[in-house]
């Protein structure tokens, strides 16, 4: 299996995926060094149900006030737009009041017409208000990632210059496949994180997951990242093709729940 440093959990029952994903996030947070933890949250339809499960788990484990949150990526739309990731994060992770909203550092999208580079710089500057031990250039403890049907992760899309070196941890990309530009953690900043956790669900992901896991020449962003460092994956059974399942069954790195 090309992804030699991947630890994979396959959830056979679809209703178990959200619980297992949330538990995996909490376990990664607990394992992170230091009293305070920095977690970066991706958008997309897969993680938001997971985020709704997190507050209770974190509250019960005594970690609720120790976690600080930033965005892995964001569409450059109004914060009130239905496509806004920060809107969905606020409506899921912070809906029940168990986690302090003051610990969530959202992308500043309140000034219409602000130049794209200024948005990136403003977000980077806002992260200087994090507690000392979490401020950039400190490594992010955990980045929650997903995988698009084209193999993008965060907002690193195959058709953009996502491999380019950037002078900040965030950059704005303009993928031709998307209706708006997006702010994203850069490839370099993702690679420096302590832990990467991919959450993947749905039949539509079978083809790209096969490529990521079984094709050593796949050059989509998710595959390149996963080949170059250790990663954890929580995947529901619907996203695993019969061929991929037969190959993964030979790996000791795969657990089933």
Domain membership flag for residue 114: yes
Q: What pLDDT digit, counting tens, does each position of 69-127 carry?
A: 999 999 999 999 999 999 999 999 999 999 999 999 999 986 666 677 788 999 999 99
Q: At what angle do helices 85-92 and 47-60 cross, to 10 degrees?
A: 40
Token pair listed for 55: 């507050």
- Residue 187 CA to residue 207 CA, distance in Å, equals 23
User: Does residue 232 lie within any of the structural domains?
Assistant: yes
Burial of 241 (0-12, 13-18, 19+ CB in 10 A): middle
- Which structural domain range is residue 206 located in? 6-256
- The mean pLDDT value of the chain amounts to 94
pLDDT at 31 over 70: yes
Which residue has 């130049």 as its token pair?
Answer: 115
Question: DSSP 3-state assignment of 200?
Answer: strand
Cβ distance 239 to 164 under 8 Å?
Answer: no
Asked whether residue 75 is assigned to any structural domain, the reply reads yes
Whether residue 61 lies inside any domain: the answer is yes
Instruction: Note whether 142 and 194 are within 8 A (CB).
Output: yes
1 within some domain: no
In a domain, 211, yes or no: yes
Assigned domain for 46 exists: yes
Least Cα distance to 144 among 236, 247, 38 occurs for 38
Q: What is this structure's pTM?
A: 0.95
Relative to beta strand 170-173, strand 182-185 is: antiparallel
Could you count the other beta carbons within 10 Å of the beta carbon of residue 17? 27
pLDDT per residue as tens digits for the range 151-162 = 999 999 999 999
For the record, the structure tokens of 232 come out as 């954890």
Q: Is the pLDDT of residue 2 over 70?
A: no
**Structural domains in the chain (count):** 1
Domain at 143, CATH number: 3.40.50.1360
């Amino acid at each position: 299996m090309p992804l030699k440093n991947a630890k994979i959990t396959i959830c056979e029952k679809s209703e178990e995926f959200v619980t297992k994903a949330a538990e995996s996030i909490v376990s990664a947070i607990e394992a992170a060094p230091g009293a305070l933890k920095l977690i970066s949250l991706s958008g997309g339809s897969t993680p938001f149900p997971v985020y709704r499960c997190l507050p209770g788990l974190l509250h019960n484990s005594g970690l609720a006030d120790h976690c600080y949150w930033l965005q892995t990526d964001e569409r450059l739309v109004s914060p009130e737009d239905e496509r806004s990731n920060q809107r969905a994060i606020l409506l899921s992770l912070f809906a029940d009041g168990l986690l302090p909203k003051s610990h969530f550092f959202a992308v500043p999208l309140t000034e219409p017409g602000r130049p794209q580079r200024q948005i990136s710089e403003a977000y980077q500057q806002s992260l200087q208000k994090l507690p000392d031990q979490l401020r950039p250039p400190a490594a992010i403890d955990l980045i929650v990632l997903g995988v698009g049907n084209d193999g993008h992760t965060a907002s690193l899309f195959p058709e953009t210059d996502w491999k380019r070196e950037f002078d900040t941890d965030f950059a704005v990309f303009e993928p031709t496949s998307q209706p708006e530009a997006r702010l994203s953690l850069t490839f370099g900043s993702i690679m420096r994180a302590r832990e990467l956790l991919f959450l993947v669900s749905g039949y539509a992901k079978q083809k790209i997951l096969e490529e990521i896991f079984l094709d050593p020449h796949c050059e989509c962003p998710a595959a390149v990242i996963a080949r170059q460092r250790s990663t954890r994956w929580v995947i529901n059974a619907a996203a695993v093709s019969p061929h991929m399942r037969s190959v993964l069954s030979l790996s000791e790195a795969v657990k089933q729940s």
